[in-house]
Structure 1
Amino acid sequence: MPSASPLKNFRLTDHARLEMARRQISETEIAQILSAPEQTENVGSSRRIFQSRVVWGKTGKTYLLRVIVEIDRQPPEIVTV
């Protein structure tokens, strides 16, 4: 997968906020993925997926956290997580 520059500034869409609340994902966790993703993947010319494995909850289960970003906007917009 292609490497990408870390994102420091971004805007959350209403849909992204809704999905974050539903999945109990914090803005801090999103910022961590965007600043140091394990992998990135370009989807079309304007969308990029930032993803990393994270250990969640008391069970210590590992999940793949994916953050979908419209990178052609200023600041880039988080579409969903």
Structure 2
Amino acid sequence: MTFHFSRHVLEEIVKRKIPQQLVEHTLHAPEQKAREVDDITCYQSRVEIGGKTYLLRAMVNETVHPAVVVTVYRTSKIRKYWRNP
């Protein structure tokens, strides 16, 4: 799948100190995908940044082509967002 990043999202990735390669990996091989709201799907994976484990979450609108990355962030609250099958 092809993804489009807005300028805002690219700026936020830098501001939040999230390595671009981790974002790309999560988008192309997420550990989990979950429907969030309306047309937004969350791609998420556990990643290590600075020696600490975070959950990297990318919100994506898959209803358009290319899919649009709405926002990307990391959180230490893995249990809150991790979905067990």
TM-score normalised by the chain length of structure 1: 0.79
Task: Give the whole-Å Cα distance in 1 for the aligned partners of 2:44 and 2:32.
Answer: 5
1:36 aligns with 2:29: yes
Where do 5+ consecutive residues of structure 2 fail to align? 73-85
Where do 5+ consecutive residues of structure 1 fail to align? 1-7
Out of 40, 53, 57, the position equivalent to 1:62 is 53
1:72 aligns with 2:63: yes
- The offset of 1:17, in angstroms, is 1.1
Task: Point out which structure has higher relative CO (alpha carbons under 8 A, 6+ apart).
Answer: 1
Task: Give the whole-Å Cα distance in 1 for the aligned partners of 2:19 and 2:2.
Answer: 16
TM-score normalised by the chain length of structure 2: 0.76
Task: Give the 3-state SS of the residue equivalent to 2:69 in structure 1.
Answer: strand
- The offset of 1:9, in angstroms, is 1.1
Task: Give the 3-state SS of the residue equivalent to 1:74 in structure 2.
Answer: coil
Q: What root-mean-square deviation, in Å, do the aligned CA atoms of Structure 1 and Structure 2 show? A: 1.3
Identity of aligned residues (%): 38
Instruction: Indicate the residue corresponding to 2:45 in structure 1.
Output: 52
Task: Give the whole-Å Cα distance in 1 for the aligned partners of 2:17 and 2:28.
Answer: 20
1:14 aligns with 2:7: yes
